[in-house]
Amino acid sequence: MKRKSKRTKGKEEAHRLEGLSKVNQNAAGVDIGATEIVACVSGGEEVQLVKAFGNYTVDLQSIAKWFHEHKIKTVAMESTGVYWIPLFEELERQGFECLLISSRSLRKVAGQKTDVEDAQWIQTLHSYGLLKGSFRPEGDLVALRTLLRHRSQLVEHRSPHIQHMQKALLQMNVQLSQAVTDVTGMTGQKIIRAIVAGIRDPEQLATLRDPGCKHSEEEIAKALTGTWREEHLYVLKQSLELYDFYTEKVEACDEEINRRYGMTRPDWKGGELPVAPDKKRNSHSKNAPKEAREIREHLYRINGVDLSLVDGMGVSLAQTVTMEVGSNVGEKFPSEKHFCAWLGLAPKHDISGGKVLSNRTLKTRNRAGQALRMAANSVKKADCPFGVLYRRLRSRLGPAQATVATAHAIARVVYKMLKYKVEYDPLSVNEYQKQYEEQQVKYMRKRAAKFGYQLIPA
């Protein structure tokens, strides 16, 4: 590593001033609105050509044709709502290199703001190489990502109707939530459907108890004695119908996702799917896809490794992370630090005058980062290195920071797996504890030597 030369305070030094040179000679900038799209290209040394278009499909094709006429190769556009998606996909289909720019990267000096000036500003910055495109996974995964995001929205829309069922039952003093762990489970659904069908006898309802339920029939019958008011029964019936409607749509979405998986990278030749350990084999989630084995095989074909075997992650979270970050993270992110910073799992250091002003983790809506936080939450009590790390940090930093730090550790493992195509090889808790103790001893020796002492084992 080249050492920097020391500067002498008060000494005048002469440095050559190098002006900016254009990096992208054939660059275009686009400002996208709800009804109008303004495009800008270079027309010479100090001239910019600006043209306004509509937002219909024929207008998008006209933009691409205009760019071809001016020999444009790369196009930058601001991420404005969802209006950018049709133009981005059309230009990408016609062979242009497209960059999606966040609004934070396009801030300019205060003054009059118009669509024409915005398009010129974007084209100017892009031509000098001052813009960095937002991350997007590989093109063949975008369709799957769209379907998975739609599926998660369906699950979110279904959850209020579960609460409406619980509320209607409580208003009739039917304490089903105390008798069963989950009202959407086997026992809960049988009892709710029987109530909607007209059965009111608590003993008869209690006979629907699943053999795996921990409460006895007598306890369940005691909890199912209610007032049975008609208005609450009507709410319960409609809430159940809406719950069934969204469940049907989620299952249909799963079928479409499975079909899309079959169309994604079908020619990839991989090895045999690793065997899942017992603790992974027995784990389940009520919102996870039913065909977990098939999803694992698809993800293994796409990634080359099985992310679902990582402690804290299952098939559902591995699916989310894969579709949000893609399989070639090594090409998009130079190092683990860049990857974790993009996920929102690394602190942002603001330093001025040698003083740290702030080092808080920024708030982000990154879905992959949220999935890794969920993975960190699931290992709180687990007998694995991530669980030991979480419990050790929680006692010192609190649960919030411990969750982010554990998610950061999981993210580093995921990055290495995807970049180097190596399977997850977890340490045992004893090995992890031994490594941690060795690290602490090394740190104490270094601190003792700094103050002129020597650390001697007892």
Contact 336, 415 (CB under 8 A): yes
Beta bridge partners of 355: 352
Nearest to 321 by CA among 273, 369, 364, 284: 369
Mean pLDDT within 300-326 = 90
Instruction: Collapse the DSSP code of 444 into the 3-class scheme (helix H, G, I; strand E, B; otherwise coil) and give the result.
Output: helix
Q: Find residue 53's DSSP bridge partners.
A: 37
Beta-bridge mates of residue 284: none
Examine the pLDDT at 69 and tell me if it is beyond 70. yes
Does the pLDDT value for residue 8 go beyond 60? no
Asked whether 122 and 78 are in contact (CB, 8 A), the reply is yes
User: What pLDDT score does 268 carry?
Assistant: 66
- Which of 13-17, 192-196, 293-297, 427-431 is predicted least confidently? 13-17
Q: Which amino acid, residue 130?
A: L
Which of 283-292, 347-356, 407-416 is most confident? 407-416
β-bridge partners, 49: 41
How does pLDDT run across 349-407, given as a tens digit for each residue? 777 777 877 777 777 788 999 999 999 999 998 888 899 899 999 998 899 999 999 99
> Could you tell me which CATH class the domain 27-127 is placed in?
alpha beta
Amino acid making up residue 204? Q
Tens-digit pLDDT profile for residues 247-276? 999 999 999 999 998 888 777 665 677 777
Rounded alpha-carbon distances, angstroms, from residue 420 to 80, 162, 342, 371, 389: 35, 43, 19, 22, 24
pLDDT, tens only, 147-188 = 999 999 999 999 999 999 999 999 999 888 888 888 888 888
Predicted local confidence at residue 429, as pLDDT: 66
Least confident among 82-91, 110-119, 413-422: 110-119
Q: Which of 13-22, 93-102, 256-265 has the lowest mean pLDDT?
A: 13-22
Percent with pLDDT over 90 in the chain: 41
Question: What's the pLDDT score for residue 2?
Answer: 46
Residue 36: name the closest of 13, 21, 8, 56 by CA.
Answer: 56
pLDDT over 70 at 110, yes or no: no
AA identity, residue 269? K
Beta strand 27-32 pairing with 74-78? parallel
Structural Rg of the chain based on CA atoms: 29
Tell me how far the alpha carbon of residue 27 is from its chain's centroid. Answer: 31
What mean pLDDT is predicted for residues 68-94? 91
Cβ atoms of residues 204 and 215 within 8 Å: no
pLDDT-based confidence at residue 71 (cuts at 50, 70, 90): very high
In 3D, which of 404, 410, 401 has the Cα closest to residue 311? 410
Q: If you count DSSP H runs as helices and E runs as strands, how many of each does the chain have, helices first? A: 18, 7
Helix then strand then coil, % of the chain, to nearest 5: 55, 10, 40
Tokens of 333: 């992110």
Q: What tokens does 128 get?
A: 């000098």
Higher-confidence residue of 157 and 214: namely 157
Residue-wise DSSP of 79-125: --TTTHHHHHHHHHHTT-EEEEE-GGGG---SS---HHHHHHHHHHH
pLDDT of residue 185: 86
Q: Span 4-27, mean pLDDT?
A: 68
CA angle at 336 for the pair 332 and 340, rounded to the nearest 5° = 90
Mean pLDDT taken over the chain: 86
User: Is the whole-model pTM more than 0.75?
Assistant: yes
